[in-house]
A and B are shown apart, each in its own frame.
Chain A
């Protein structure tokens, strides 16, 4: 005999403004099996939960229906409350009368009508619920961090600090990421390398951390606590264990004309290279696209000079497999390509550069050894004066734009206002004879000591901030750049003759993020940023259990924010790894072996590899024994997505908590 209690939540006015909650409670009171029905202002509050618990005890309820917000929000809350009152958690159903009803309807009549229908469907379902008991799975006490920039480094260091093993997989030959290319950091102007490289060294020396550099994650299987990752260690044709990083090979390599990605192509490197002096691991890598030995078998100089015998031209890619309890995405960002914004003449003049290129031009380890020179002078395209006397910064290049241009981004890239203030200030500090203009739409400086920093650029350093936008940059025959833009305050069109134009280029998630997201079944937004489990309350977790987010892969952020988030992410990872076992989800699929015809349809659609087939003996009606091939589900691997139940032609596959009969009962109730 069913004894169902229905609890209708007002959610303040979120529901009650569009749904007549009392009418809903009234309407369902007469439903078969319902013995109690009530409404309350905030059902998720302590008082609301107590009401549910007291009713369970007093009315000896066998099932509970809560008409409230999405089950993603509070299903767990009410399941826990019911369990405390002695009712099996899985005897609770949620009718979503907020997201699926009050928030999308405008008038009370249709809102109320729909809420009643949704409540009836949930009642029909709960009548067929059976108590379920979750299983337990062990946790592999090791974390994988994908991406070795400052985000990945900080997360790894914090996880290791808590005593867990952690692997960093970095696709470049060294860890460090974008921060290695940055000269100084705002708002304190300390040298980026000076604060980053000790952390890189810490990673290398920490025995809990293992760095897989020049490596990529190939595939990930499994589930929270029990992931298996395949990592491809790309052949660098240098034995990491033997290489001492002495640089003799680099010195002798005759192939000098390889664009140096570390300096963004502003100078060249050799075919065998160490990206920069503080690289971790400090190991050489051969670029097979340029190496003469790899291309035509003629050279071998690096091998001859290597005292350690580390060069191995025959090295192959290697795949290693490792188990992890948690995975962190820390895949970072890149500036967008700006060749489709050529009103700024980036592809027409070497003296129009991106802000990241300016970082390299100002860095002591950069192509000009820290002396700010015009790139066209650097590349010897002209012999005009080396030092740029007038510099124009253009803000929001590609950011805050509708999809009218290929590659443009609708979001604010967030970091540009501050780094431009930094660049402008550093230039005025080092070269006081330089005129610096910044064309801006808005100056956005929310952050501790940020606005003060920007004001210092204006007031102390005399940087000319112009409210307006550059419309066209014209490279002239004499090497100068005509910058035409608007000055909205004086309502004039300005023409600045500049020697250097710096574009604050929008940033976007690294191109690999999308494929890694697919591998991890972690959801992403339309901009390819990873989505949080909750934008406010669970900002460092992906909705996919066991997957965590660190750094810009979740959204644009500066270094202080990245480090904050990286540590928060580590705390969440540690919170998972510290558990010996995890309570599983009992809402998994199971196969009725008597009905299974062995067709393999379910196995083919299962995204988790949870279904296997085996031959079993069955007694036939005529008492003979036949051997049939039947499906079985590994409940520890099954995530309860239900794909198999839909694919199964014979109806043998069914999902606990979402059985075919329960769903049909809901449909019947809706159609009644």
Chain B
């Protein structure tokens, strides 16, 4: 199974449904923090150009806020594609984006448990 197939399987998304309107990137609240934007994730996965995505910090900038999923006129669910690419990256050996030993310096007294749980779910396998 190649990377594209793996990502399609993890996401359950049919990228062919995309009509290239760009509404996902028009609606993304974290657009400016991303090198590759939601519509590019969909397009690049469809065209099999996945390596640049796997190496990009953009993987860790998606907020999973589902704005793109809610507003996509073709029901493509870009957030699920981004999540699948991220999983494909962090499931590799030693590829965890956040390591437990680095966490203490990043938290403060108010940090909710929920944040740590979410971060480990999103950034580590």
- State the A residues within 8 Å of B (CB): 343, 396, 400-405, 408, 439, 441, 467-472, 484-486, 488, 491, 493
Contact = CB atoms under 8 A, between A and B. Distances in A.
B21 to A, nearest CB: 4
A374 to B, nearest CB: 23
Contacts of B26: 439, 468-472, 484-486, 493
Q: Which one of A343, A400, A404, A470 has the highest number of Cβ atoms from chain B below 10 Å of its Cβ? A: A404
Interface string B1-31: 0000000000000000101111111111001
Nearest to B30: A493
B72 A404 contact: yes
Contacts of A484: 26-27
Contacts of B71: 343, 471-472
B73 interface: yes
Contacts of B75: 402-404
A488 B25 CA distance: 9
A374 B70 CA distance: 29
A484 B68 CA distance: 13
Contacts of A470: 23, 26
Contacts of B31: 486, 493
A666 B23 CA distance: 56
Given A486-B22, A488-B39, A471 B28 contact: yes
Interface of B: 17, 19-28, 31-32, 37, 39-40, 67, 70-75
Nearest to B34: A493
Contacts of A404: 72-75
12 contacts: A343-B27, A343-B70, A396-B73, A400-B73, A404-B73, A439-B26, A469-B21, A471-B28, A486-B22, A488-B22, A493-B28, A493-B31
Given A396-B21, A469-B22, A402 B67 contact: no
A470 B72 CA distance: 11
Contacts of A491: 37, 40
Contacts of B74: 400-402, 404
B24 A471 contact: yes
Contacts of B73: 396, 400-402, 404-405, 408
A486 B23 contact: yes
A401 B21 CA distance: 11
B33 to A, nearest CB: 11
A401 B71 CA distance: 10
Given A441-B19, A486-B26, A493-B26, A471 B67 contact: yes
A439 B25 CA distance: 13
Contact of A469 (B17, B23, B32): B23
Contacts of A408: 73
Nearest to B70: A343
The list of the 5 closest CB pairs from A to B, nearest first, reads A471-B27, A471-B26, A469-B23, A486-B26, A486-B22
A343 B21 CA distance: 16
Contact of B25 (A396, A401, A441, A471): A471
A488 B20 contact: yes
Given A343-B70, A404-B73, A472-B67, 19 more contacts: A400-B19, A401-B73, A402-B74, A404-B74, A405-B73, A441-B21, A467-B22, A469-B23, A471-B71, A472-B26, A486-B24, A486-B26, A486-B39, A488-B20, A488-B22, A488-B25, A491-B40, A493-B26, A493-B32
A470 B24 CA distance: 9
A488 B24 CA distance: 11
Contacts of A439: 26
B23 A471 contact: yes
Q: Which one of A404, A467, A469, A470 has the highest number of Cβ atoms from chain B below 10 Å of its Cβ? A: A469
A468 B72 contact: no
Contacts of B27: 343, 471-472, 484
A121 B21 CA distance: 52
A470 B19 CA distance: 15
A314 B29 CA distance: 60
A396 B24 CA distance: 15
A496 to B, nearest CB: 11
B17 A402 contact: yes
A400 to B, nearest CB: 6
A467 B21 CA distance: 8
A343 B65 CA distance: 15
A94 B12 CA distance: 46
Nearest to B27: A471
B80 to A, nearest CB: 14
A470 B67 CA distance: 13
A484 B25 CA distance: 10
